[in-house]
Amino acid sequence: MGSKLSVNNHRSDVIGLTYIYPVLSRRAGGLSIGINFNTNNTCNWRCVYCQVPNLTIGAAPPIDFDLLAKELRLFLDDVLHGDFYDRFGVDADKRVIKDIAIAGNGEPTTLKDFARAVGLIGQIATEAGVFPASDYVLITNGSLIHLPRVQEGLKILNDYHGQVWFKFDSATEAGRKLVNNSSQSCLAAVENLLIASQLCPTKLQTCLFDFAGRGLPDSEKLAYLEILKQIKNHSNVHRIMLYTIARPSAQPEAGQLAKLPAETMEAFAAEIRALGLDVSVSV
Ligand code: SF4
């Protein structure tokens, strides 16, 4: 304890808890409380920019619900009524819980009891008075949303006025393979996106970066815009969030990755806006 919590300090063990980690989020403009189900650093994808150390292919282990509940109650009490902000030197204007985000070191929907966990977090945060003022966010690669057990979780998330941030980095089969090491087709991803948006407000999050000097290829831009044209009248996708890599990848490809220039990001955002969609850019 005692270290200053900064936007660069995303260590999940900074407060010594198993499932909970604080992030002073530039994105959120305050405290984001992360929930990590993937304590074994597992995901069903392997994105080349992934920051999870020792990432392995797999699923989240069974969760200790008593421990999750205990940690969340204790941590919320520390933030709301204790000296958490003082201990970590959080600036006065950042002393607000912006969101509770199910994210962590892997894909959270691989958790078998995902729906129960979503409900438990929602219940505890509501009892503590954090919801509905703060956002409830699920950050997911969306690859398992066709599964009924995941859809059940999204319904519960929606009951707590939550939102889904759906990873969609490429609209080409080659791009998805290259960037996400995902075998899921683009068509299947779009089908899952439509399901998600019918169950819960959904935003697209798209990571754009320079991989081995290829920049942002026209083929990728065109395919992405084409998908957006197809879905914009058939889905409840509220917003597109474009971002570029901010911290070093923990994957072997790390040395081949670079941020995209802000001008490139903004120019692409303008093309998306021209379709009538709401876009944010984070560089
Ligand atoms: S989906 Fe997320 S956790 Fe999984 S490999 Fe990609 S960035 Fe890492």
Mutation pick for ligand 1 pocket among 180, 208, 209 (CB with most ligand atoms within 8 Å): 180
Query: Which domains, from first to last, does the chain contain?
Result: 20-282 (3.20.20.70)
Q: For the segment 27-69, what is each residue's pLDDT rounded down to a tens digit?
A: 668 999 999 999 999 999 999 999 999 999 999 999 999 999 9
Q: What is the 3-state secondary structure (H, E, C) of 187-252?
A: HHHHHHHHHHHHHCCEEEEEECCEECCCCCCHHHHHHHHHHHHHHCCCCCEEEEEEECCCCCCCCH
Q: Is 50 in the pocket of ligand 1 (CB under 6 A)?
A: yes
Is residue 101 helix, strand or coil?
strand
Range from 26-35, 160-169, 185-194, 205-214 carrying the lowest mean pLDDT: 26-35
> pTM for the complete prediction?
0.94
Ligand 1 atom at minimum distance from 105 CA: 3
C-alpha of residue 42 to centroid of ligand 1, in Å: 9
Ligand 1 atom at minimum distance from 43 CA: 4
DSSP state of 62: P
Residue 3 has a pLDDT of: 42
Does the pLDDT value for residue 14 go beyond 90? no
Q: Whose CA is nearest to atom 5 of ligand 1?
A: 46
Q: Whose CA is nearest to atom 8 of ligand 1?
A: 50
C-alpha of residue 226 to centroid of ligand 1, in Å: 24
Q: Is 207 in the pocket of ligand 1 (CB under 6 A)?
A: no
